Amino acid sequence: MTQDEIISKLPYSKPFLFVDEITSISEDGVVGNYTFDEKLDFYKGHFIDNPVTPGVILTEVMAQIGVVCLGIYLLNNEINKNTLIALTSSNIEYLRPVFPKEKVVVISEKIYFRFGKLKCKVKMINDSGIEVCNGTIAGMIYEK
């Protein structure tokens, strides 16, 4: 399965699609990136005159790249319209702010994938190579 095929199977669309590119993927993990468009709606009200990306959005970026893309890859052709994907847990530590127009890279390492649950160790770094957040995220992938 190619990186473009994985992205096309994501159950999201703009403005809630937070995956620009997958740069590497294997059974053990995934690396991908996303650049925050300064016109995204949440910047209008998240700190007046000094917009910062909300932590919940950073978590979503890490979940989409680090768990959902990897889950689609691991399941390969088993993903279809009846496949449901749900976040089951996250434990994220936020270390630095992420600003509009910033590109981030998500690096995810599989901890385990069993009984339809995928748990990963994830981290996000900015273009300067500085870690902005890290933690664990788990999700369930199952058929309706």
Q: In what order do the strands lie in the sheet with 103-114?
A: 21-26, 29-35, 103-114, 117-126, 131-143, 83-94
Active-site option among 46, 103, 117, 119 = 46
- Tell me whether residue 46 is one of the annotated catalytic residues: yes
Give the dihedral of Cα atoms 35, 37, 40, 46; nearest 10 deg: 80
Question: How far is CA 26 from each of CA 35, 104, 105, 136, rounded to the nearest angstrom?
Answer: 23, 20, 16, 18
CB 65 within 8 A of CB 34: yes
Which residues does the annotation mark as catalytic?
46
